[in-house]
């Protein structure tokens, strides 16, 4: 499955306000995968750091 992310969301994420990236949430739940270097393919957030927060 792939999800379209609105353009405003992408800009929001790029400015350090990433609290709602759907793909990041799916990765944390185990329903999606990250890149080999553990970045989210949608917003490029470091998923290893995100996992440590939860």
Q: Which residue range is the domain that position 13 belongs to?
A: 7-53
Cβ–Cβ under 8 Å, residues 34 and 40 = yes
Tokens of 47: 């998923």
* DSSP for residue 24: H
Q: What is the pLDDT of residue 8?
A: 46
Residues sharing a CB contact under 8 Å with residue 40, sequence separation 6 or more, in sequence order = 21, 23, 24, 27, 34, 47
Cβ–Cβ under 8 Å, residues 23 and 3 = yes
Could you tell me if residue 44 is inside a domain?
yes
Could you tell me if residue 2 is inside a domain?
no
Q: What is the pLDDT of residue 27?
A: 81
* DSSP for residue 42: T
Output phi, psi for 46, to 5 deg: -75, 110
pLDDT tens digits, 23-50: 888 888 888 877 778 788 888 887 776 6
Q: Give the chain's domain count.
A: 1
């Amino acid at each position: 499955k792939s999800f379209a992310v609105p353009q405003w969301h992408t800009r929001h994420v790029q400015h350090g306000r990433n609290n709602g990236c759907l793909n990041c949430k799916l990765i944390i739940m185990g329903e999606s995968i990250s890149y080999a270097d553990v970045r989210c393919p949608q917003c490029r957030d470091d998923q290893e750091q995100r996992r440590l927060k939860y």
